Chain A
């Protein structure tokens, strides 16, 4: 297929890898990247280091803007897609612009997940997904001297390290389903708990958070089933859910992500999904898996691009087994250690 205009929604590793693969394979294609974040492609895994002051914002960025010019890739930053019509092959933007496509790659990644019982407290909790989130943290950490982390996903561990390095007190409430979609088991939970305590983190065991209230401009009061404490900020770290709400009424099959086959095809012709937003069928497992992780996202982006141009590559990188993260064995294999 010679796709005339390929629109890529997203500007993370999946999207960028897709764009450059498309350019290499289809020199004449018109390629547009659309991203709601107003900044260029950056490495999310460096966000904790940014908070810790170990790297500068400039260190985060992957490609200079000239890269897109040189490769004739139109980069549209700070522009959000709010709807896609597969009947007319149109993407509708928040500012009411309609962009037509011949091929579409959805690579919108994930967004922070807050488990349902905690959703009532959402306003009082910070998360860490974007550079903008990191800046909020950075600013907040200038004023406060303690942080409570609820959850326990992979990013929470590097984040904890960053906060500790700033000399702040860290409390931690480990949550069973932090590794969504993978569940925490007892063994892992106690292992993580131990590691955290070794580092000086106060791990609070509790089943339930009963109350969260803003006590002052820079402190929040927390009441659990066993304890009351006052902290400077609360971070929610329960992994990410695919950022696909805008597709809810589009006709795409969405479960834990956009459902795609092993070739990353959705049910609509010429429409692919890649990266953290995709739920990929794995023929060997005979099941779907939700991808997480940087390198994995890049790989899926590349596969989606090749297949969009007529290739038949399977996204078979698969859950490959146990992975070491920060000395802790985690049963999630797609995470890359940097």
Chain B
């Protein structure tokens, strides 16, 4: 059975229904049983203007990254789509509106710039939609009809997802969309009868258990809901805002509240306050907001108050690249803050982990009484994957707090220096267990004390409990066939999908290459990382930042200098870039 691995792009101007069309492609192909990874991009500043592009990688096998090239471009706007031509594969196909309302200059025309190896399919989207429904509103759907006909996508898949999407908007709207889709479908089927490329049909994919399209941000929002979030405090910032929007929509119905604060300092302060009082709370931000939170995060560390803080990384320092992706807040997440203020930092690498790690972060924060930082990035937050809807188990949702034993009433030592460093924590209102949560260094009984002995002891306690936390933190996952390896790649976060694919490409060639995924950034599993490194001649650490921040953190565990592959283009790593590096390392090893 031929394998399918096809990237489809929809490109248009804001207002063309580009994002909606791309979303329907994802939904329909997912319904058909394909793996789908989608990522939309739109211009930096405000979403309402300019070019919109959706990219969907559709495969018969599992997919973990975007591909380098696009195979099918559905253009809803000639001028905007011209910019996509350099990304088209050699034997790609372009669908475009062949009967626009006005004449086009050569400089505006897409057909004028596509390479001759690209198959052009002119379909009069606007005309077909208007003829079928009396309005051109469905022209994006006519385009999808053409796409389905040309590439062997069952029209029923589209009809079902169109119905699902537009049903609530009334019969008329639904009809316009369905009819427009059908018009495009029949037109292309007939007009291009001798040029059809039924690649999707040929894959004979069988639909498995029902999957949903979920973005990283939606998965995080849903996880927070499922984990019993009571309060969300936040201040909008790209790319974290959708989490707040999601929760604003669904949290109130569950008895919770979303509060927009005056800034990020207030947000994290309120989260600490809520957790202090025993309620699950969270905030989500990005680099600039995270920087503002630093002082209060260290307060959480010092006073041992739980908090869940999501840092959705974007590019560059300061305002930087608001709508681009980067993994450059690792140092800030792990070390950002004065005074030995270690905290837990975890980083999901895909949408499913966005869900499970967020659920887990509440328990971790409660159990280890420290802020937990979940590090995601623009690419992970905004990409959509089709996943079986994740459901947190009761065990994963239970209260992680360790409450003091009744018998200690009256003799309660809030910061008791236990073997694990974790001391039972009381909540306000528990009679006989009151204490002052202070940011000053303090004794076991929470009294301010700056003596060398106390500071040494309590600093040790706060660090010790993090080492204990390792047993609850997700362990590194090794993707290897065992045995000695020439190159071992270590990665984290959204980059890992690309790493995995590059490793698969290398393995297909019989090369001894493997990958290790690290999701617990701090504390990290030293033993497991070392044991992987020992098997590898070269260690390559691949990440989207300038210096190699993970490499700085764990590189010393290897017996020789680790090799770094870094990229700060604002776009995700392509598997082929990583593959080339592997190839170069292997060649260097041979010579």
State whether these chains interact: yes
Contact at B109–A77, with CB atoms within 8 Å? no
Contact mask for chain B residues 96-116; partner A; CB cutoff 8 A; 1 contact, 0 none:
111110111110110110011
Contact at A96–B116, with CB atoms within 8 Å? no
Contact at B103–A77, with CB atoms within 8 Å? no
A132, B193: Cα distance in complex, Å: 11
A98, B105: Cα distance in complex, Å: 5
Contact mask for chain A residues 108-135; partner B; CB cutoff 8 A; 1 contact, 0 none:
0000000000000000000000001001
A77, B122: Cα distance in complex, Å: 12
Q: Which residues of A contact B105 (CB under 8 A)?
A: 97-98
A132, B196: Cα distance in complex, Å: 13
Q: Least Cβ distance of B557 to chain A in Å?
A: 49
Q: Does B195 make an interface contact (CB < 8 A)?
A: yes
Q: How large is the interface on B (under 10, 10 to 19, 20 to 34, 35 or more residues)?
A: 20 to 34
Most-contacted residue by chain B among A76, A95, A99 (CB, 10 A): A95
List 17 A–B pairs whose Cβ atoms lie within 8 Å, in order of A's numbering: A38-B195, A68-B116, A76-B111, A78-B119, A78-B120, A93-B109, A95-B97, A95-B100, A96-B98, A96-B99, A96-B102, A96-B104, A97-B105, A99-B112, A100-B106, A132-B194, A135-B194
Contact at B109–A97, with CB atoms within 8 Å? yes
Q: Is the interface of B mostly helix, strand, loop or mixed?
A: loop
Q: Does A136 make an interface contact (CB < 8 A)?
A: yes
Contact mask for chain A residues 71-106; partner B; CB cutoff 8 A; 1 contact, 0 none:
000011111000000000000111111111000000
Do A65 and B117 contact each other (CB < 8 Å), given the known contacts A38-B195, A95-B98, A100-B106? yes
Q: Which residues of B contact A93 (CB under 8 A)?
A: 109, 111
Q: Which residues of B contact A40 (CB under 8 A)?
A: 116
Q: Which residues of A contact B100 (CB under 8 A)?
A: 95-96
A92, B96: Cα distance in complex, Å: 17
A48, B307: Cα distance in complex, Å: 77
Q: Which residues of A contact B122 (CB under 8 A)?
A: 78, 94-95
- Which residues in chain B, 127-144, are within 8 Å of chain A measured between CB atoms? none
Most-contacted residue by chain B among A92, A99, A135, A136 (CB, 10 A): A99
CB closest chain-B residue, reference A79: B111
CB contacts between A and B, total, < 8 Å: 57
Contact mask for chain A residues 52-73; partner B; CB cutoff 8 A; 1 contact, 0 none:
0000000000000100100000
Q: Least Cβ distance of B458 to chain A in Å?
A: 70
Question: Which listed residue, B99, B106, B120, B195, touches A98 by the CB 8 Å rule?
Answer: B106
B residues near A (Cβ < 8 Å) are: 96-100, 102-106, 108-109, 111-112, 115-117, 119-120, 122, 194-195
Question: Which listed residue, B104, B194, B195, touches A97 by the CB 8 Å rule?
Answer: B104
Q: Which residues of B contact A136 (CB under 8 A)?
A: 194
Q: Which residues of A contact B103 (CB under 8 A)?
A: 92, 96-98
Contact at B120–A97, with CB atoms within 8 Å? no
Q: Which residues of B contact A100 (CB under 8 A)?
A: 106
Q: Which residues of A contact B108 (CB under 8 A)?
A: 97
Q: Which residues of B contact A76 (CB under 8 A)?
A: 111-112, 116
Q: Least Cβ distance of A67 to chain B in Å?
A: 10
A123, B116: Cα distance in complex, Å: 31
Q: Least Cβ distance of B293 to chain A in Å?
A: 53
A275, B119: Cα distance in complex, Å: 26
Q: Least Cβ distance of A131 to chain B in Å?
A: 10
CB closest chain-A residue, reference B104: A97
Contact mask for chain A residues 39-51; partner B; CB cutoff 8 A; 1 contact, 0 none:
0100000000000
Most-contacted residue by chain A among B99, B100, B103, B105 (CB, 10 A): B103
Q: Least Cβ distance of B72 to chain A in Å?
A: 15
Q: Which residues of B contact A97 (CB under 8 A)?
A: 103-106, 108-109, 111-112
Q: Which residues of A contact B115 (CB under 8 A)?
A: 65
A95, B112: Cα distance in complex, Å: 11
CB closest chain-A residue, reference B90: A65
Q: Which residues of B contact A98 (CB under 8 A)?
A: 103-106
A99, B105: Cα distance in complex, Å: 7
Q: Which residues of B contact A135 (CB under 8 A)?
A: 194
A96, B116: Cα distance in complex, Å: 19
Q: Least Cβ distance of B41 to chain A in Å?
A: 26
A205, B563: Cα distance in complex, Å: 84
A180, B523: Cα distance in complex, Å: 87
Question: Which listed residue, B96, B116, B119, B194, touches A95 by the CB 8 Å rule?
Answer: B96
Contact at A38–B98, with CB atoms within 8 Å? no
Contact at B106–A38, with CB atoms within 8 Å? no
Q: Which residues of A contact B194 (CB under 8 A)?
A: 132, 135-136
A93, B122: Cα distance in complex, Å: 11
Contact at B119–A38, with CB atoms within 8 Å? yes
Q: Least Cβ distance of B116 to chain A in Å?
A: 4
A100, B108: Cα distance in complex, Å: 13
A77, B120: Cα distance in complex, Å: 8
7 nearest interchain CB pairs? A75-B116, A97-B109, A95-B98, A78-B120, A97-B104, A77-B116, A99-B106
Contact mask for chain A residues 8-43; partner B; CB cutoff 8 A; 1 contact, 0 none:
000000000000000000000000000000101000
Contact at A95–B195, with CB atoms within 8 Å? no
Q: Which residues of A contact B104 (CB under 8 A)?
A: 95-98
